[in-house]
Amino acid sequence: MPDGSEKIDSQNASDPYDQAMRILVVEDHADLARSIMRSIKQMGHAVDVLDDGELANDVLKTENYDLLVLDLNLPTMDGLEVLKYFRDRGGITPVLILTARAEVEDRVVGLDLGADDYLTKPFEIAELEARVRALLRRHQTKRNPLIKAGTLVFDTNTRTFLINGYDFSLTPRERGVLEVLIRNHGNVVPKDQIFEHIFNFDDEADLSAIEIYISRLRKKLKDEEVTIRTIRGLGYMLEST
């Protein structure tokens, strides 16, 4: 049993929106975008901000997010087009639409294209935060609840780790690194994929930071039936021992 831990029931762990998640905000109104970004960061999540529809469409082809906050009136590509292309590619991330369009028809079209919720401008930041929490919680409960690797268990509903049924204490970024590895248990995960999961576009960090977190995790897992292997030139792999 890890020192200083109390045995917990995974069903009673903290809500999923209390764990760090990755959110993309696409909003071309600079002041509003900054306000949303500050709010989401204060909630404890990583956030990327874009102000262009076509750029957002390109980013969503390669990047994975836990939530997309999407304005409809965007330069180069309308938000509804971004949403349509994202869903057509099989994207399952929940989408919260922001719109100044008051017409019911526009909101219906957005929902029909796969939006999960919408907010009409102007809105209170507190309401945005409530919608974000609700969508993140709903999305997490749809996933397979437990992933196991040796004595290590990851509860995808709460995004918490257990070892032999006991809470495994981790910093938010250690948790983020280990989450990527356990979701790809037995497979090699490139270092840049881990980096993209835990850092924002504007974070002052480089790939060497991942080595630090891997080293810390190895020390915490040294007496458990799971290990993190370095696959030279390729990345890292979590294995049961």
For the beta carbon of residue 183, count every other beta carbon within 10 angstroms: 15
C-alpha to C-alpha distance for 197 and 192, rounded to whole angstroms:
9
H/E stretch holding 178: helix 172-183
* pTM given for the model: 0.56
Quote the CA–CA distance of 229 and 189 in Å, as a whole number: 10
Domains of the chain: 16-141 (3.40.50.2300), 170-240 (1.10.10.10)
Whether residue 94 contacts residue 80, with contact meaning beta carbons closer than 8 Å, is answered with: no
Task: Give the lowest-confidence range in 3-7, 79-83, 204-208.
Answer: 3-7
pLDDT, residue 18, reads 46
How many CB atoms neighbour CB 10 within 10 A? 18
Mean pLDDT of 205-220: 91
Question: What are the strands of the beta sheet with 67-71, ordered from one edge?
Answer: 46-50, 22-26, 67-71, 95-99, 117-120
- pLDDT confidence tier of residue 92, bands split at 50, 70 and 90: confident
Q: Please give the pLDDT value at position 47.
A: 94
Overall average pLDDT of the 212-216 stretch: 95
CB atoms within 10 A of CB 148: 13
Phi-psi region of 206 (alpha: psi -120 to 50; beta: other; left: phi over 0): beta
Res 126 pLDDT > 90: yes
Q: Which residues contact 142 (CB under 8 A, 6 or more apart)?
A: none
pLDDT of residue 9: 37
Burial of residue 150, with CB atoms counted within 10 A of its CB: 0-12 exposed, 13-18 middle, 19 or more buried:
middle
> CB-based contacts of 82: which residues, under 8 Å, 6+ apart?
26, 53, 56, 57, 60, 70, 74
